[in-house]
Amino acid sequence: MAKRITATDVAAYYGGFKAIDGVSLTIEPKSVTALIGPSGCGKSTFLRTLNRMHEVIPGARVEGKVLLDSEDLYGVGVDAVAVRRTIGMVFQRPNPFPTMSIYDNVAAGLKLNGIKGKQTLDEAVERSLRGANLWNEVKDRLSKPGAGLSGGQQQRLCIARAIAVEPQVLLMDEPCSALDPISTLAIEDLMTDLKDRFTIVIVTHNMQQAARVSDRTGFFSLEATGEPGRLIEIDDTSTIFSNPSEKRTEDYITGRFG
């Protein structure tokens, strides 16, 4: 169920401002791909073009091609809602639905897409919570509000919510930046588990994290403020961190820049 993403010459705009330009890369199935780079280089923007969340912002648009296996996500007649169901997303800050219980938060994606039946939902909720390593902590209080959990638990709840709809790709936009080291570790372990089933793309500011969890790493950068961000290089994580082919990557990784 994990699929390959191939982006070709992707450019993204916010109104008249070009945020990223000419990004072409391949994301391998059943692996973790990390995107690193300085602030404002467009890595989050690129991530959001992969499940058509970029265009949700008024005035934002995307050019180029993004293939999921062989299907163009921006092709004529492709439903953005269906794309997002196939490619899930976890955000920087945990954002459980405040009016819903833990159970309902996890079941939200299924319920809102019209899937009914208590048994189906019960199974999906347990499977997703187990998948997010949260089941044991919350199984006795599934009817309590999701907002009552700790930050790290909330983020794992959001991951459970995202994987409950059985996506093929999971995009994570700095999922640990609002969390403490222990919760971060829990999420990193989780990513390693999840990559058996999903294709994972993670944007992170933390290079150690990229080195720890990812199989491949892409480095984004921009020439100057106001210029669009570009993909500088993408390679196996070990290569990027030990022997990058681009000088700028090396400068960034060794802390000489950014």
Partner 1 sequence: MTTLTALRPTRSVSTAALYGLGTVSVLAALGLVRGAGSSSTALTVVVTGLAYLLLAFALVLAVEGRRAAVDRTFTNLAWGSFLLALVPLVSVIALVVKNGSRRFDANFLTHSLRGIGPRDSNGGAYHAILGTLEQVGLASLIAIPLGLLAAIYVVEHGRGWLVSAVRFVTDVMTGVPSIVAGLFVFTFWVLALGRGFSGFAASLALAILMLPTVVRTTEVVLGLVPDSLREASLALGVSRWKMVLRVVLPTAASGITTGIVLAIARVTGETAPLLLTALNFDSINSNPFKGQQAGLPSFVFAQAGQPQQAAVDRAWAGALTLLLLVLLLNLVARLIARRTRLKD
Q: Which residues bind partner 1 (CB under 8 A)?
A: 51, 53, 56, 58, 81-86, 88-89, 91, 93, 95, 97-101, 108-109, 111-113, 144-145, 148, 158, 161-162, 165
Alpha carbons 165 and 124: distance in angstroms, whole number: 8
Alpha carbons 63 and 74: distance in angstroms, whole number: 9
- Which residues lie across from 220 on neighbouring strands? 231
Q: What are the backbone dihedrals phi and psi of residue 94, each rounded to the nearest 5 degrees, phi first?
A: -55, 130
Alpha carbons 241 and 13: distance in angstroms, whole number: 30
Q: Which is nearer to partner 1, 111 or 205 (CB)?
A: 111
DSSP 145: B
Quote the least distance from Cβ 140 to partner 1, whole Å: 15
Q: Which is nearer to partner 1, 97 or 135 (CB)?
A: 97
Quote the least distance from Cβ 233 to partner 1, whole Å: 28
Quote the least distance from Cβ 145 to partner 1, whole Å: 4
Contact status, residue 162 vs residue 152, Cβ threshold 8 Å:
no
Alpha carbons 52 and 171: distance in angstroms, whole number: 12
Q: Give the helix/strand (H/E) hosting 133.
A: none
- In single-letter form, the type of residue at position 255 comes to G
Q: Which is nearer to partner 1, 88 or 131 (CB)?
A: 88
DSSP 256: S
Quote the least distance from Cβ 38 to partner 1, whole Å: 24
Q: Which is nearer to partner 1, 10 or 89 (CB)?
A: 89
Quote the least distance from Cβ 58 to partner 1, whole Å: 6
Q: Which is nearer to partner 1, 163 or 222 (CB)?
A: 163
Alpha carbons 62 and 151: distance in angstroms, whole number: 33
Q: Which is nearer to partner 1, 46 or 252 (CB)?
A: 46
Quote the least distance from Cβ 107 to partner 1, whole Å: 11
Alpha carbons 221 and 39: distance in angstroms, whole number: 9
